[in-house]
């Protein structure tokens, strides 16, 4: 005999007879029974109530929303009812306004401790656990159809999207590795690096006010080599490639999604129509909730969102201040290595501190986003979910990228110059860029954050539920032994199954959204500042190979069964990813134009180098660039309180900028470079956006096969109607 199947399980503490919670629970369950639901009670340390929806609900649903093109036409067959349909028809009454109180309200009041669908004890789950939710399946194709049958379309689309994203990341990863390898060839052969390494007589201005000495430019030979390993012509080509890649990826995903949902007969599925049908099945007198909009409420929410963004930018400013103070403290250290590498150590520790703030603000951002969504009073769950996605992604974006934006576009550009430094609280100087540029700082910051996010965060995300699961699986001794002659009472087969499901980690309503959010932030790292970190796609690719199966293991083995939901696309995430694609064009254009030394070097080559003046025989056109990019400063012009004891010796030092030696005003070269940066930025972004638009036009969103499938179905339906209308002519 087959074990009974239950759609949902409710868990409650054992309350005192006559208590308010006990009365509310009884009223709720009695009302469900009146609606035809089958309820089974099992008492253990907690009260378990199995809930099964009546079959007539599914018959009404399939009659009301039957798709004439669908494969399943028999509403009486239990196994033909998709898992999402069973859950929606079961759960909709649980949250109905006709009940004394809705289920989620009772859960808030602790009347029920938990509610969840059960993991099934059938062949499909066994296959998914062994072939999909297992590390040996890392390089195997995902069984998307079986995932859909077990978890519903929404989860299946997430894994289909993640698999497709990872597949195309492989191409970007290969391109990034090629660019990085080409950059390594610049490590020893770059003319600019050679000039830095050979600048034994170039005295640079001190990096701090008191204990920092003058230093030789050649002391930073290795740093210069690393910088030009990243900052080269290949970077520009790779940035344009990634802008095109992002567009092609999304366009190909639209085609993939169209094929998948067509196979599921959900291409033209209407979420609003389904929601109305479920309400009418539950209550024939139901009136639809009207659309509404409040400008006052929207204004309040907008102001609160802007306030939260200001707080996140303030946190980024705090990280900047930390780096400034840390550089000053490290530069005065008694340890020579720490004193010499004060700026690099400040960058590394600042990146670690940035990662810690990301971890902390993840929770804060989530609570603020939920509060703002409740304040908006969305009409439906899907509307609430979309509002939450926009807000949480915005907050997370500023949390992750505010510090990177400062390093990329402001570091070393707002710090002033020797003799007139910009200071924090009138005391600490803002950071300066290395004479070879600031792009290495951005590279270090991105590398540390991505590595930490993809190691520590993923390990904790997987390890904590795994340890809890192992602890709970530890066998407990029986409470008592049987007395002589006493017969053992057969245990209800549902009891252990329900108990084991309850002991798994709770799944929140937005659990799948959290997985999407993690990937959307990773996608942002992979595309927006990829010009400074060409290895980002490789790190993302390696992470995702494991992420797919980590998520699968969590869902199948460590977490309660996720509530199946119907969907025919990834929702508003597609618009989020398209927005990130546009930001990637802007971000990479700014990195090349502002952060990189690519533009100043090209201006030098074509206007000031030996090649430009006709003396190019056998000479590299970059020769003399470093000396050209350094300005001269007279030591006696330092502020008195920072350089005491120095007589008017005529000693000069060099610093990175384009300023005149007499009055420290900007030189003509500065304005030439400024104009070139602006022209390149405009040209790059227009070309990249045009290429994106051409790629989007060239690749149709819907494959011809899908269009032809619907064309044949329309033709067949019209042909059938014609046979009824004019049978003598057909």
Ranges of beta strands (E only) in 322-382 are none
Q: Which residues 6+ apart lie within 8 Å of 217 measured at CB?
A: 196, 199, 202, 203, 204, 435, 626, 630, 654
Nearest to 536 by CA among 176, 184, 20: 176
Looking at residue 480, what is its pLDDT? 46
More confidently predicted of 126 and 532: 532
Q: Identify the weakest region by mean pLDDT among 46-55, 434-443, 679-688, 720-729.
A: 720-729
**pLDDT for residue 380 is more than 90:** no
Contact 328, 430 (CB under 8 A): no
**pLDDT for residue 351 is more than 80:** yes
Residues 705-724: pLDDT tens digits?
888 888 888 888 888 878 77
Contact 247, 698 (CB under 8 A): no
- Average pLDDT of 481-497? 62
* 78 band by pLDDT with thresholds 50, 70 and 90: very low
Residues 275-286: pLDDT tens digits?
777 777 777 777
CA atoms within 13 A on the CB side of 726: 5
Grouping H, G, I as helix, E, B as strand and the rest as coil, residue 434 is: strand
Looking at residue 368, what is its pLDDT? 95
- Alpha carbon distance 90, 572 (integer Å): 26
Residues 400-424: pLDDT tens digits?
999 889 888 888 788 888 888 888 8
CA angle centred on 347, ends 657 and 588, rounded to 5°: 65
**pLDDT for residue 174 is more than 90:** yes
Average confidence score pLDDT of the chain? 83
Residues 43-65: pLDDT tens digits?
888 899 988 888 777 777 777 76
**pLDDT for residue 229 is more than 80:** yes
Looking at residue 468, what is its pLDDT? 76
- Alpha carbon distance 551, 156 (integer Å): 12
- Alpha carbon distance 690, 682 (integer Å): 12
Helix (H) / strand (E) containing 587: helix 573-590
- Alpha carbon distance 67, 58 (integer Å): 14
* 544 band by pLDDT with thresholds 50, 70 and 90: very high
């Amino acid at each position: 005999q087959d074990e009974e199947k239950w759609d949902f399980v409710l868990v409650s503490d054992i309350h005192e007879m006559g208590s308010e919670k006990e009365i509310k629970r009884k009223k709720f369950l009695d009302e469900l029974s009146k609606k035809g639901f089958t309820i089974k009670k099992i008492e253990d340390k907690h009260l378990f109530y199995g809930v099964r929806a009546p079959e007539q609900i599914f018959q009404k649903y399939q009659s009301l929303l039957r798709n004439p093109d669908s494969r399943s036409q028999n509403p009486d067959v239990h196994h033909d009812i998709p898992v999402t349909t069973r859950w929606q028809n079961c759960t909709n009454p649980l949250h109905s306004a006709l009940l004394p109180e809705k289920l989620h309200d009772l859960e808030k009041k602790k009347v029920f401790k938990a509610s969840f669908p059960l993991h099934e004890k059938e062949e499909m789950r066994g296959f998914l656990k062994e072939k999909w939710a297992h590390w040996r399946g890392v390089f195997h194709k995902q069984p998307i159809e079986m995932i859909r049958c077990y978890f519903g379309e929404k989860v299946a689309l997430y894994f289909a999207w993640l698999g497709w994203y990872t597949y195309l990341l492989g191409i970007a990863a290969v391109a990034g590795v090629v660019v990085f390898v080409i950059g390594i060839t610049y490590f020893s052969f770059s003319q600019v690096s050679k000039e830095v390494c050979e600048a034994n007589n170039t005295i640079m201005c001190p990096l701090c006010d008191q204990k920092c000495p003058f230093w030789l430019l050649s002391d930073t030979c290795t740093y210069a080599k690393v910088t030009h390993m990243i900052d080269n012509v290949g970077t520009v080509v790779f940035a344009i490639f990634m802008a095109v890649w992002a567009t092609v990826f999304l366009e190909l995903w639209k085609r993939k999604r169209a094929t998948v949902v067509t196979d599921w007969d959900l291409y033209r599925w209407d979420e609003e129509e389904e929601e109305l049908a479920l309400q009418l099945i539950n209550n024939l007198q139901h009136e639809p909730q009207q659309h509404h909009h409040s400008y006052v409420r929207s204004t309040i929410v907008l102001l609160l969102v802007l306030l939260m963004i200001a707080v996140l930018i303030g946190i980024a400013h705090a990280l900047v201040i930390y780096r400034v103070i840390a550089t000053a403290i490290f530069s005065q250290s008694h340890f020579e290595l720490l004193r010499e590498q004060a700026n690099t150590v400040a960058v590394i520790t600042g990146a670690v501190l940035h990662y810690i703030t990301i971890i902390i603000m993840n929770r804060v951002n989530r609570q603020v986003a939920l509060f703002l969504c409740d304040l908006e009073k969305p009409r439906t769950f899907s509307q609430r979910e979309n509002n939450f996605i926009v807000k949480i992604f915005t907050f997370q974006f500023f949390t992750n990228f505010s510090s990177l934006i400062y390093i990329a576009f402001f570091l070393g550009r707002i710090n002033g110059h020797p003799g007139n430094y910009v200071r924090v609280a009138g005391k600490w100087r803002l950071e300066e860029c290395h004479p070879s540029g600031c792009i290495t700082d951005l590279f270090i910051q991105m590398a540390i954050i991505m590595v930490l996010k993809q190691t520590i965060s993923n390990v904790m995300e997987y390890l904590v539920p795994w340890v809890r699961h192992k602890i709970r699986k530890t066998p407990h001794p029986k409470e008592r032994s049987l007395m002589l002659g006493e017969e053992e009472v057969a245990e209800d087969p549902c009891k252990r199954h329900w108990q084991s499901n309850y002991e798994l980690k709770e799944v929140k309503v937005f659990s799948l959204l959290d997985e999407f959010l993690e990937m959307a932030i990773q996608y942002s790292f992979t595309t927006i500042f990829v010009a400074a970190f060409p290895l980002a796609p490789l790190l993302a690719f390696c992470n995702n190979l494991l992420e797919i199966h980590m998520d699968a293991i969590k869902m199948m083995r460590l977490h309660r069964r996720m509530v199946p939901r119907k969907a025919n696309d990834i929702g508003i995430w597609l618009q989020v990813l398209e927005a990130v694609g546009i930001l990637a064009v802007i971000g990479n254009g700014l990195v090349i134009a502002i952060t990189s030394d690519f533009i100043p070097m090209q201006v030098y080559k074509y206007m000031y180098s030996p090649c430009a003046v006709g003396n190019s025989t056998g000479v590299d056109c970059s020769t003399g660039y470093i000396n050209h990019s350094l300005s001269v400063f007279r030591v006696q012009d330092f502020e008195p309180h920072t350089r005491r004891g120095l007589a008017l010796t005529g000693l000069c030092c060099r610093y990175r900028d384009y300023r005149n030696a007499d009055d420290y005003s900007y030189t003509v070269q500065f304005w030439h470079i400024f104009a070139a940066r602006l022209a390149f930025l405009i040209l790059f972004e227009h070309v990249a956006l045009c290429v994106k638009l051409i790629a989007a036009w060239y690749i149709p969103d819907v494959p011809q096969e899908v269009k032809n499938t619907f064309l044949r179905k329309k033709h067949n339906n019209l042909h059938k109607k014609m046979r009824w209308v004019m049978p003598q002519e057909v």
